[in-house]
Amino acid sequence: MPYKVWLVDHPPYADYWSDERRASTANFLKSLFDAVCKTGKAGFDSTEVTWANSGGARKPEHLVIHFFRRSSDGLLYMWGTRGLDKSGATLWVPSKNAVVSEVYVETMDGEANFGRLAANLAFHEAMHNKLDAYPSNKSKVDVHNIPGGSLAREKPPLTYSTPLTAADKNAMAPGLKRIVPQF
């Protein structure tokens, strides 16, 4: 059974997400999640990554990642959160009873490896989503302090070439089974 990831774009202008950018981001992100599934600890055999514009067929066990041009365009900012990171954020929003994961793509403009960088940032936010943002998560993992983590780290900043390590995969694998309310 595949693990389901929904990517939702919120472009400030209609042609920001080219078909090539969408496809490369989804493909690279799928490869990261597929590597987690191959650990045998995730409970899934593969990953399905889909771009969507609405709630559609989302289920509680699915993961949702929103993409915005910059943090000030995002849901979290709109709902009053300030001081967000330039590249992404994941927070529990009590008024929505959900975790919101956002990636801000303006910082990637001009990046030759846009899809890979966007996927790495999205995977980092997904780690927060599944491992430390949900307050009812009884086995919280501090994502930025996973020994041997690479995509989990906060500094130095993630790049397109930041690798997915065994520590990243092993930390994320049990998180895929967690049901975390998504917005």
Domain spans of the chain?
A: 2-177
CATH of 2-177, one of 2.10.25, 3.40.390, 2.70.70, 3.40.50: 3.40.390
User: Is the pLDDT score of 54 beyond 70?
Assistant: no
Q: Which of 7-21, 63-77, 130-144, 165-179 has the lowest mean pLDDT?
A: 7-21
Give the whole-angstrom CA distance, residue 170 versus residue 53: 31
* Chain centre to alpha carbon of residue 47: 13
Q: Is the peptide bond before 60 cis (omega within 30 degrees of 0)?
A: no
pLDDT digits (tens, 9 = 90+) for 119-172: 999 999 999 999 999 998 877 789 999 999 999 998 888 999 999 999 999 999
Angle at 73 between CA 6 and CA 153, to 5 degrees: 60
Q: Which two tokens stand for residue 173?
A: 């694998």
Q: Which residues pair with 103 in a beta bridge?
A: 67, 88
What's this model's pTM, rounded to 2 decimal places? 0.95
Evaluate whether 47 touches 169 at the Cβ level (below 8 Å). Answer: no
Sign of the CA dihedral 165, 168, 174, 180?
A: negative
Give the whole-angstrom CA distance, residue 70 versus residue 74: 7
**Res. 55 pLDDT band, cuts 50 70 90:** low
pLDDT of residue 12: 62
